[in-house]
Amino acid sequence: MDTTYDVAVIGGGIVGTASAYKIQKKFPDKKIVLIEKEKHLADHQTGNNSGVIHSGLYYKPGSKKAINCVRGRKELVTFAREHNIPHDVCGKVVVATDEKELPHLDKIFNIGQQNGIEGIEKIDGHQVREIEPHCAGIKGIWVPVTGIIDYRAATEKMAELVTKIQENSKIVLGEKVEDIEGGSECNIVHTSKAKYKAKHLIFCGGLQADRLARKDKVDLDEKVVGFRGDYYELTDQAKHKVRNLIYPVPNPDFPFLGVHFTRMTNGEIECGPNAVFTFKREGYGKTDFDIRDTIDALSYKGTWNLFMKNMSFGINEYRRAFSKKLFLKTLQRLIPDLTMDDIKEGRSGVRALLLKDNGDTKDDFRIMYNDRSIHVLNAPSPAATAALAIGEDVSQMAVEHFGLKD
């Protein structure tokens, strides 16, 4: 523990790593330690999401999500090109399959225009089929700037650049932060294996963001609740039925984008995810259970308010999680000629939602600070796309509130 780091970043997902990278790039002489409890970076939300480079189509104009998604997306694509990160700006279609969806499709298009999404256009059913021949839609939106990327590879490259810029900076893997000891001039971060001295702290804990905030004596009313998303994959015989990305018109009353089709950078095609409450924050199996996580979530008023607001959706999502037939039925709304033999079970991911006690999940990106630390408390989708923009915001906050300077 002889080294005193200028900044310790806790959490090695793409947001934490991008924050470390942006600070290091701005201050090449500063020593940074990035601490991740897993043996690999990007092992939770970053490495288990759908791999989509989001355009910024859905987010409230002027919100941090909208601004940072558009800014971060452009920067991420440039970063991927410069560093040979597997990616493809292939475009996507958002497809309406029912007349009732058309007003919301128009609303999404108008939001996209306000957010400055380049090249979006309304298309008819014939144009939908020109782009995706097996897709059944009456109208749609073509979004040419949406893409796919290997987010794990992008995260690893950012971490590599941190230590390349400053050889005395360090990436620590496999160490869980257990306690934070504050001091007048320095903080001591106690992990499961060691102690690290750092003048300033940045927390990007994702699924553990609220718990880390409370360890750091932050007064936080909200609580993180996890939702698992299950994916299916198209079998080899069916891969020709999806060329790139196909999204439904999202239900405005449900806080997720709906089941969609995504061509991954490795050539696989995923269908999903659904969204079901998980009884373990970092539980990727359908029956995973953790007593602390379960009590934490089910003793919280916000969880029950969310359940009550979305009861019918929640029941349908749970039924679909355990029924291949029901999952297929949802997929057939977009691609009617899919069969049971065309899909096979794939992986799962878990999303962190910072819930207010009224059950509200539509909060914007949320970052707060005190004298010695910055906490990224809420960074749901499109945070991976926006990571470099969020990292820039964090680095600017570090300048303003920590007094970082060359």
Write down the residue that tokens 């989708």 correspond to. Answer: 381
Write down the residue that tokens 């999806």 correspond to. Answer: 242
Are 104 and 249 in contact by the 8 Å Cβ rule? The answer is: yes
Please report which residue ranges of 284-344 form alpha helices under DSSP H. Answer: 291-298, 301-309, 311-321, 324-332
Please give the residue that has the higher pLDDT: either 259 or 156: 156
Question: Can you give the CATH number for the domain in which 388 is found?
Answer: 3.50.50.60
At residue 212, the 3 state secondary structure works out as helix
On whether residue 245 sits in a domain, the answer given is no
On whether residue 281 sits in a domain, the answer given is no
Residue 80: its H or E element: helix 64-82
On whether residue 322 sits in a domain, the answer given is no
At residue 134, the 3 state secondary structure works out as coil
pLDDT at 256 > cutoff 70: no
Write down the residue that tokens 């306690």 correspond to. Answer: 179
**Beta strands at 245-248 and 276-277: parallel, antiparallel or unpaired:** unpaired
Summarize pLDDT for 200-225 with one digit per residue, the tens. 999 999 999 999 999 998 988 899 99
On whether residue 200 sits in a domain, the answer given is yes
On whether residue 146 sits in a domain, the answer given is no
- Contacts for 337-341: CB closer than 8 Å, 24+ residues apart: 337/134, 337/241, 338/238, 338/241, 339/238, 341/235, 341/237, 341/238
| Beta strands per DSSP E along 259-401 | 260-263, 269-272, 276-277, 343-355, 366-369, 373-378
Summarize pLDDT for 5-41 with one digit per residue, the tens. 999 999 999 999 999 999 999 999 999 999 999 999 9
The model's pTM is 0.95
On whether residue 285 sits in a domain, the answer given is no
On whether residue 75 sits in a domain, the answer given is no
Residue 382 domain boundaries: 4-46+152-222+363-402
Residue type, 223: K
Q: What is the pLDDT of residue 276?
A: 87
How many domains is the chain built from?
Answer: 1
On whether residue 213 sits in a domain, the answer given is yes
Residue 55 gets the label, from left (phi > 0), alpha (psi -120 to 50) or beta, of alpha
The lowest-confidence range among 114-118, 151-155, 262-266, 354-358 is: 354-358
Q: Which of 315, 280, 317, 311 is CA-nearest to residue 295?
A: 280
